[in-house]
C-alpha cells in the first residue's frame, strides 16, 4: 500500500513544470488583460475627427472558412488516433497547444461549436436567418465524432478546455454528490441559451411598440474569449479570471459545470462505438487511474462515458500500459540490433 502513490507519481522535473507552467500562464494572461484594458480607448486625434464606419463585409473569405473546417476535421481525426490508438498523453497535449493557438488566439474563439448552438437554434425558428455551412460543420462535426469516439473534441481540440488545462496546478477531489449536482448546471444553461436564442424577450421601443430581442448569451458570457481577443468588458475578464483561478485547483470547472456544448456531447458519448478504456487489455483494478484523473471521471474504476473528457492522462498511470510500452520498446530494440 505504501508504494501505491509512487507508481502514479510523475518525476520531480515534471512536477516542477506542472507548477511553473500554470503560474507563468496566469501571469502572462494577467499582464495581457491589463494592457488590453489600457489600450481599449481609441486614440484621440483631437478636433472633430470621427472614426469612419467600415463599409466592407467581414474580410474572412470563404476559402479561409473552409480552412477552419478542414483544421477542425483534421484535429478531430488526430485526436481519435492519439487518444484511442496511440494512447499518448504527450500527443494530446501538443494537439491541445495547437488548438489553443489556432482556434483560440489566432481565430479568437470564433467560429466555435459552443456558440454555434445559438446559430443553429435561431436558424430553426427564424426562416429569415441563414446559418453558414461553416457554422453547421462546427456544430455537427464534434457531435458526430462523439457518436463514434466519445468526447474527443474536449480532450484535444477545444481551446476552452486547453486554456483550463494550462493552469491546472494541483487538482483536488470534489465530493461525488457535489460534482453530480453541479453537473446538472450545463443542461440548465443549455436550456436558457436555446430559449434566449429562439425566443429572446420583449422590449418596448422608443416608438412604444413591442419588439423581440434575441440574445446569444453563451457568447456574451464566454469566460475565455476576452483572453483570446485581448479585448472585452472588465466583467468578462473577471469571470474568466475566476474560472482560471478556480481551475488551478479544480480540473476544468467550466467544462464540468457550465459548458452547454459539453452537455450536448455527453449524450452521444454514452452510446459511443468506442470510448476511452484505461487499461489497454486486461483490467488490473488497482485504482491508480482514479487518482490520476483530475476530472473525477473514473467511476467504479472505469472511465464514465459521459464525464470522460478523453484527455489520456489516466493511461500514464496504468502499470499495465507501462508494461506493454516497455515490452514494445524492447521488441523494437531487439529488431534494430
Ligand atoms: S466541455 Fe465545452 S469547453 Fe470544455 S472542452 Fe468540451 S466543448 Fe470545450
Ligand atoms: S478518465 Fe479522466 S484521465 Fe482518463 S481520459 Fe477520461 S478524463 Fe482523462
**DSSP classification of residue 223:** S
The three cell numbers locating residue 53: 464606419
Contact 301, 285 (CB under 8 A): yes
Query: Does residue 307 lie in a domain region?
Result: no
Dihedrals phi, psi of 201, to nearest 5 degrees? -145, 165
Instruction: Please tell me the predicted confidence (pLDDT) of residue 15.
Output: 62
Within 10 A of 23 (CB to CB), how many other CB atoms are there?
12
Q: Does residue 5 have a pLDDT over 50?
A: no
Q: What is the pLDDT of residue 101?
A: 97
How far is the centre of ligand 2, averaged over its atoms, from the C-alpha of 284 (Å)? 17
User: 61-93 in b/e burial notation, b at 16+ Cβ within 10 A?
Assistant: eeeebeebbebbeebbebbbebbbeebbbebbb
Q: Retrieve residue 162's grid coordinates.
A: 486547453
Taking CA atoms only, the protein residue closest to ligand 1 atom 7 is 262
CA distance 315 to 324: 11
Residue 23 alpha carbon to ligand 1 centre in Å: 22
For residue 203, the model assigns a pLDDT of 83
Confidence of residue 316 (pLDDT cuts 50, 70, 90): confident
The answer to whether residue 294 sits within a structural domain is no
- What are residue 204's DSSP bridge partners? 210
Query: 281 vs 4, which has greater pLDDT?
Result: 281
Range of the domain at 112: 13-38+65-275
**Helices assigned H by DSSP within 81-151:** 89-99, 113-125, 133-149
Integer Cα distance of 102 and 104 in angstroms: 6
Tell the residue number behind the cell numbers 488490473, with chain if given: 284
Mean pLDDT for the stretch of residues 61-77? 91
Candidate from 83, 272, 309 with most ligand 2 atoms within 8 A of CB, to mutate: 309
The response to whether residue 247 sits with its C-beta less than 6 Å from ligand 1 reads: no
Q: Residue 329 falls within a domain, yes or no?
A: no
Q: How far is the CA of 309 from the centre of ligand 2 (A)?
A: 6
Sign of CA dihedral 202, 208, 209, 215: negative
| 191 part of a folded domain | yes
93 domain residue, yes or no: yes
For ligand 1, the distance from its centroid to the CA atom of residue 3, given in whole angstroms, is 35
Q: Is 229 within a domain?
A: yes
**Residue 254 CA: which ligand is closest?**
1
Torsion of CA 34, 39, 40, 45, to 10 degrees: 160
Q: Across the strands, what pairs with 210?
A: 204
Total number of domains in the chain: 1
Report the chain's C-alpha Rg in angstroms: 22
Residues having CB within 6 Å of any atom of ligand 2: 276, 292-293, 295, 297-298, 303, 308-314
Best probe residue, ligand 1, of 255, 264, 306, 307 (max atoms within 8 Å of C-beta): 255
What is the rounded distance in angstroms from the CA atom of residue 101 to the CA atom of residue 134? 20
Any ligand 1 atom below 6 A from CB of 114 = yes
Q: What CA–CA distance (Å, rounded) separates 128 from 195?
A: 18
Q: In a 3-state reduction of DSSP, which class is residue 53?
A: coil
For 228: left if phi > 0, alpha if psi spans -120 to 50, otherwise beta; the answer is alpha
For ligand 1, whether the C-beta of 262 sits within 6 Å is yes
Cell of 188: 440548465
Pocket test for ligand 2, best of 255, 276, 287 (most atoms within 8 A of CB): 276
Residue pLDDT, tens place only, 159-180:
999 999 999 999 999 999 999 9
CB atoms within 10 A of CB 156: 29
Residue-wise pLDDT tens digits, 202-221: 888 878 888 888 899 999 99
> 299 lies in a domain?
no
pLDDT band at 14 (very low <50, low <70, confident <90, very high): low
Beta bridge partners of 211: 203
Q: Which residue has cell 521488441?
A: 331
Domain assignment present for 315? no
Cα separation, 332 vs 330, in Å, equals 5
Amino acid at each position: 500500500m505504501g508504494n501505491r502513490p509512487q507508481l502514479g507519481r510523475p518525476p520531480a522535473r515534471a512536477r516542477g513544470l506542472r507548477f511553473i507552467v500554470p503560474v507563468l500562464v496566469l501571469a502572462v494572461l494577467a499582464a495581457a488583460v491589463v494592457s488590453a484594458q489600457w489600450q481599449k480607448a481609441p486614440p484621440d486625434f483631437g478636433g472633430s475627427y470621427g472614426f469612419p464606419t467600415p463599409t466592407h463585409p467581414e474580410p474572412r473569405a470563404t476559402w479561409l472558412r473552409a480552412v477552419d473546417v478542414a483544421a477542425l476535421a483534421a484535429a478531430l481525426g488526430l485526436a481519435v488516433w492519439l487518444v484511442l490508438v496511440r494512447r499518448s498523453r504527450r500527443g494530446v497535449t501538443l494537439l491541445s497547444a495547437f488548438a489553443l493557438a489556432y482556434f483560440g488566439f489566432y481565430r479568437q474563439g470564433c467560429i466555435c461549436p459552443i456558440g454555434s448552438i445559438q446559430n443553429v437554434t435561431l436558424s430553426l425558428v427564424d426562416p429569415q436567418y441563414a446559418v453558414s455551412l461553416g457554422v453547421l460543420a462546427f456544430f455537427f462535426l464534434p457531435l458526430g465524432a462523439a457518436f463514434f469516439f466519445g468526447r474527443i473534441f474536449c480532450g484535444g481540440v477545444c481551446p476552452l478546455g486547453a486554456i483550463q488545462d494550462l493552469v491546472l496546478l494541483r487538482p483536488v477531489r470534489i465530493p461525488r454528490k457535489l460534482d453530480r449536482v453541479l453537473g446538472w448546471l450545463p443542461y440548465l444553461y443549455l436550456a436558457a441559451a436555446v430559449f434566449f436564442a429562439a425566443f429572446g424577450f420583449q422590449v418596448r421601443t422608443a416608438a412604444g411598440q413591442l419588439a423581440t430581442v434575441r440574445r446569444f448569451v453563451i457568447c456574451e458570457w464566454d469566460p475565455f474569449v476576452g483572453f483570446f481577443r485581448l479585448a472585452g468588458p472588465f466583467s468578462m475578464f473577471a469571470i474568466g479570471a475566476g474560472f482560471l483561478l478556480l481551475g488551478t485547483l479544480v480540473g476544468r470547472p467550466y467544462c464540468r459545470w457550465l459548458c452547454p456544448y459539453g452537455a450536448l456531447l455527453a449524450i452521444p458519448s454514452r452510446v459511443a462505438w468506442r470510448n476511452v478504456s484505461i487499461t489497454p487489455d486486461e483490467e488490473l483494478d488497482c485504482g491508480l487511474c482514479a487518482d490520476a484523473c483530475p476530472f473525477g471521471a473514473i467511476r467504479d474504476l472505469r472511465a464514465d462515458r459521459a464525464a470522460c473528457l478523453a484527455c489520456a492522462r489516466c493511461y500514464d498511470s496504468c502499470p499495465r500500459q507501462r508494461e506493454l510500452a516497455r515490452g514494445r520498446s524492447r521488441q523494437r530494440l531487439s529488431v534494430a540490433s
